[in-house]
Amino acid sequence: MTPEVREKIQVLFDLKGLRMTRPRQVILDAAFSDQGAHFTADELFEKAKALDSKTSRATLYRTLVLLVDSGLLHEIDLGKGVTSYDPNFIDSPDHNHLICMDCAEVIEFEDQHMSVLGDCVTRRLGFAPSNKTIQIKAKCETLRRTGSCAHKAG
- Catalog residues that contact DNA under the rule CB under 7 A: 17-24, 40-42, 54-59, 61-65, 81, 83
Q: Tell me which of a copy of itself, DNA, none is bound by residue 35, counting a contact when its beta carbon lies within the kind-specific cut-off of 5 to 8 angstroms.
A: none
Under the binding rule (CB under 8 A), the answer on residue 7 touching a copy of itself is no
Q: Say if residue 87 is exposed, middle or buried (CB neighbours under 10 Å; 0-12, 13-18, 19+).
A: buried
Under the binding rule (CB under 8 A), the answer on residue 95 touching a copy of itself is no
Sign of CA dihedral 32, 9, 84, 46: positive
Under the binding rule (CB under 8 A), the answer on residue 144 touching a copy of itself is yes
**80/66 Cα distance (integer angstroms):** 24
Under the binding rule (CB under 8 A), the answer on residue 109 touching a copy of itself is yes
Beta-bridge partner residues of 83 = 77
CB-nearer residue toward a copy of itself: 90 or 100: 100
